[in-house]
């Protein structure tokens, strides 16, 4: 009997099942009232007294191992059934939707990458600014129309006993960051200032009260307009392609003198003329010029020793040209159908 119990212990330890039916057969064979273990307990009364202790220990061990084995196999089957019911392993993987960068972020990062490759650093500043940094130090006259409530979002006017009232406003351009850089850093200065700006304008397909700019500044000894032109030509060809041409048209900005607006050859028609460029072959993308001596002096930079150039561009405008988007409002509506089109752009 002892040998039979030892053989059964070995058999139980190596047993495996693949279905609930096989598991039930195992239970009936070993653990039921008419099973092998029950019969062995019936025969135990016939065991010699000298062998009862050893045989009894092995018989109890067999019952214990068989019960544990049954519970273990049952748990394994339940887990397997849950997995098979929850997941069809023959099906293709679920098409999880991947995210993408916003087109404004894509173009912003591309602009930053182009200018950092030629030595420009990135500077950032507050969106809530004061009149001094946004207008006064940039040579805006007190009566300049840009100061009007129609163009600027004024927040409040603060004052104290020791100072005159000061206007607090949402910045209308990132040139305010350049003022802060000039006040806190000695030339040479070579930096770009990307950021969000605000103007009190009616929202339409071509205009918005919120938009993004990247403005650049380079100040050093003997900086010339030729340096500005070559820098902008490099940028245009890196952004729009090696065949891109630029042209500079005289313009006016309070903080630069001389000032210019820069056009690039239309990439859609190749400069031949189309409805996008209004059949001129050119598209305006930015304003630029040599930093006005008054701005340098207002920021404690010697205008007799240093010269510099500055430029500023709207990221929305460049993005519209790059991706041929015809409505500015699409950038702010977060329509997933629009944003999904930029999944392959980085």
The tokens of 114 are what?
Answer: 């182009």
pLDDT of res. 128: 93
Q: Can you give the pTM of this predicted structure?
A: 0.68
Percent above pLDDT 90 for the chain: 41
Contact assessment for residue 82 and residue 28, using Cβ atoms and an 8 Å cutoff:
no
Q: pLDDT-derived band of residue 116, with 50, 70 and 90 as boundaries? A: very high
In sign, the C-alpha dihedral spanning 61, 63, 65, 67 is negative
pLDDT of res. 304: 94
Is 80 exceeded by the pLDDT of residue 200?
yes
Contact assessment for residue 55 and residue 44, using Cβ atoms and an 8 Å cutoff:
yes
The tokens of 211 are what?
Answer: 């938009």
pLDDT mean over 23-44? 80
Among 200-209, 252-261, 296-305, the least confident range: 200-209
pLDDT digits (tens, 9 = 90+) for 276-300: 677 888 888 999 999 999 999 999 9
Contact assessment for residue 158 and residue 168, using Cβ atoms and an 8 Å cutoff:
yes
Alpha carbon distances (Å) from 166 to 12, 132, 267, 268: 90, 8, 46, 47
45/158: higher pLDDT: 45
pLDDT mean over 2-17? 79
Is 70 exceeded by the pLDDT of residue 82?
no
**Residue in the block written with tokens 């010339």:** 224
Whether a cis peptide bond, with omega within 30° of 0, leads into 258 is: yes
pLDDT digits (tens, 9 = 90+) for 44-81: 777 777 777 787 787 788 788 888 887 888 887 777 65
Is 70 exceeded by the pLDDT of residue 84?
no
40/184: higher pLDDT: 184
Distance CA 31, CA 29 (A): 6
């Amino acid at each position: 009997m002892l040998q039979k119990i030892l053989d059964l212990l070995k058999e139980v330890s190596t047993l495996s099942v693949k279905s609930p039916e096989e598991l039930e057969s195992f239970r009936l064979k070993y653990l039921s009232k008419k099973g092998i273990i029950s019969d062995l307990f019936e025969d135990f009364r016939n065991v010699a007294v000298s062998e009862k202790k050893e045989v009894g220990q092995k018989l109890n061990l067999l019952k214990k191992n068989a019960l544990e084995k049954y519970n273990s196999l049952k748990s394994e089957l339940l887990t397997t059934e849950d997995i098979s019911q929850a997941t069809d392993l023959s099906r293709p993987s679920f098409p999880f939707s991947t995210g993408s960068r916003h087109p404004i972020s894509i173009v912003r990062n591309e602009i930053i990458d182009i200018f950092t490759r030629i030595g420009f650093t990135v500077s950032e500043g507050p969106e809530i600014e004061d009149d001094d940094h946004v207008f006064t130090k940039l040579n805006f006259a007190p009566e300049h129309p840009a100061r009007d409530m129609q163009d600027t979002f004024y927040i409040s006017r603060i004052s104290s006993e020791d100072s005159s009232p000061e206007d607090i406003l949402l910045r209308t351009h990132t040139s305010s960051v350049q003022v802060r850089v000039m006040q806190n850093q000695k030339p040479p200065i070579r930096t770009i200032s990307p950021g969000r700006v605000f103007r009190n304008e009616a929202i339409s397909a071509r205009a918005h009260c919120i938009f993004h700019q990247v403005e650049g500044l380079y100040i050093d000894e003997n900086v010339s307009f030729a340096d500005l032109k070559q820098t902008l030509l490099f940028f245009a060809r890196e952004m729009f392609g090696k065949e891109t041409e630029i042209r500079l048209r005289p313009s006016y900005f309070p903080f630069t003198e001389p000032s210019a607006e820069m056009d690039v050859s239309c990439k859609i028609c190749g400069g031949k003329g189309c409805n996008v460029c209004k059949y001129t072959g050119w598209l305006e993308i930015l304003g630029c010029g040599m930093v006005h001596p008054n701005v340098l002096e207002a920021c404690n930079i010697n205008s007799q020793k240093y010269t510099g150039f500055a430029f500023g561009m709207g990221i929305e405008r460049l993005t519209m040209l790059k991706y041929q988007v015809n409505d500015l409002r699409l950038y702010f509506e977060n329509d997933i159908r629009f944003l999904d089109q930029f999944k392959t752009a980085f």
